[in-house]
Structures are given as structure tokens and as C-alpha cells.
Amino acid sequence: MSKPENREEIVVNIQPFEDLTRETIENSIKLIDYFKFNLIYLLLISGKGLDFERIQTYMPGDDTRRIDWKIFARTRELMVRKFKEERTFDVIIGLDVSNTMLLGTTNHTKNQFAALSAGALSFAATEANDNPAVAMFSDKIKLFLDPENDFSRILNVLSDKNNYGGKKSWGEFTNLLISNYEPQSILFLISDFIDTDVNKFLPELASYFSKVYGIMIRDPIEEKLPKKVGRVYIKDPNGNTVYLIDATKVAGEYEVLCKREIERIKESFHEAGQLFFKVDLKERFDISFFKAFGSEEVELS
């Protein structure tokens, strides 16, 4: 019998498909109204792709966001606005699955939180009759899906551990997005943005897609070192270099640099006219995600 090949394997702690499906749906139900609003606000507020047709009496099952509250205030009757034609969005979810996303010091690793985030957004998009797609990347393209209203297909790829691990490279990924998806699409970028210069790709993406949302997933230890740790070995996630550091001595400088880096990335998104959300792993997923999306002032006109 031949001796098995000796190679280093990356252990990916990703939820089983059944658990991911259940948790995604449970969280999505809590968040669905909020995310549907964010995903289609360009249509509802600016009226792009919509031609007003008539006002009619509200019936159970009608979209409550179409209620004309001015008429209600005047007549106390619920009336809804109807439109002749509605244009759906392609919602592209770019998911960083590189080695830096495998860290986890809480109940979830970053890649688990990222998978739940992508699942919740996909669920919201399908509920809004939009067409979600997922593109997963590290130093190579793991896979990319065409936009389609198929939530189960996306859950399958999110829960496949073979789609996780590798170094991080944004260049090929940026080219793939622009080459394969329509400029009218809305793009979500889910990453820890570690070892990333967003200014090398964000301006190009922002000028191509109708909207780009940055979603940062960071573990608490990536913002503040625990107290009284002492000397520890750390390894570069994208290389083989190992460092011995005294965590107590560098803790203050480390926290300052982390905050500065996060603020720099946020400012880059704002300078490009885009939105940026940071998700905290210290709390339950639905609470953390809702707080993150409530942290930005979303312009609706």
C-alpha cells in the first residue's frame, strides 16, 4: 500500500448543512423585513424601473411597504400603490473564504459568521424576488454562481468545507466580478479585510456596480488582545513566518493600530460613495447583524 502524501491540511470548522440551514432561516425571519428594505430601497424610493398604475384598497398579502400613509391619515383607510412593472435586482455576494477567515475565539468562527451573513442576504433577496449569487474566493476563485432565485443552491455551497481555505488575493476576484456580472447588480463584499488594501479594487468596483456594500467580519481578538497573556507565538496566516511577541507589552499599540485600520477601510468605502458595515462576533448573529446595519446612515433618495 502506498504511503499517503504528507501535506498540511487546513481544518475548516464550518457548520453542517442542516445546522446552517436552520440557523440561517431562523435568523433571516428576524431580519427579513430590514434586509428586503435595504436591498430594494433604490426601487421603492427612487422609483427606478417602476411605473405607477393605480391606488387600490389594501388586501391581506399586499406588500405593507406600498401602503399610502398620506391617504390613511386623511381617510383612515388602508390603500396601496400598484405599479405596472417591477425590475428585479441581481444581488452578488462576494465571500472571502481565505485562511484569515478561519479564526474564531467565540461561538462562531469568522467563516461561519460570514456564511450565515451570506445566507441571510440570499434569503432576503429571494424573498424580495431578486436573484442572489455567491462568488467565493481566496488566492483563487473557489466558485461563482450565476444569479438565480434559488436559496437552497446557495446554502449547499456555503456549507461545503471544500470551498474554504487558501491565501487572499483580490485582483483575480475583482476581474471575475466585472467580467461575469451585470453593472446594474448590487454587490456585497463579506470579508475581514485583513491584509487588504481596498483602494486597489474598490474604486473600480464602485464605478461598475450600482451599489457596493462592505461587510467586515472581525473576531474580538483582532481588535483587542486578552489581558495577562504573556509571551505567545503568532503565525502569518498568508505565509510561514512565526513571531514570538510579548502580548502584554504590545496590547495598547495593537488596539490603536486595529482601530485605525478599521476606520481607514470604512473611510475608503465612504470616499467611494458606498456603505460599510462591521459585524461583531461577541453577540448572537441576528443581534450583531442588525446592529451593524443600523450603524450606517442610509440615504434613501
Q: Enumerate the CATH 3.40.50.410 domain ranges in the chain, comma separated.
A: 17-39+88-221+273-293
Mean pLDDT is lowest, of 112-121, 179-188, 244-253, 256-265, for 244-253
Question: Residue 224 has which C-alpha cell?
Answer: 483587542
pLDDT score of 152: 86
Mean pLDDT is lowest, of 5-14, 15-24, 266-275, for 5-14
pLDDT in tens, 191-229: 999 989 999 999 999 999 988 999 999 999 888 888 877
For cell 462576494, name the residue: 94
**Among the listed residues 164, 149, 150, the one whose alpha carbon sits nearest the alpha carbon of residue 115:** 164
User: What is the CATH architecture of 17-39+88-221+273-293?
Assistant: 3-Layer(aba) Sandwich (3.40)
- Side chain identity at 183, as an amino acid letter? P
Strands 242-246 and 231-235: antiparallel
pLDDT in tens, 89-110: 889 999 999 999 998 888 888 9
Percent of the chain residues past pLDDT 90, beyond the cut: 35
- Characterize 93-130 residue by residue with b for buried, 16 or more Cβ atoms within 10 angstroms of its Cβ, and e for exposed: bbbbbbbbbbbbeeebbbbbbbbbbbbbbbbbbbbbeb
pLDDT in tens, 158-170: 988 889 999 999 9
pLDDT score of 78: 86
Spatial CB neighbours of 30, under 8 Å, sequence gap ≥ 6: 286, 290
CA–CA separation, 157 and 20 (whole Å): 11
Report which DSSP code applies to 242: E
- Side chain identity at 187, as an amino acid letter? L
Q: What is the largest CA-CA distance in the chain?
A: 84
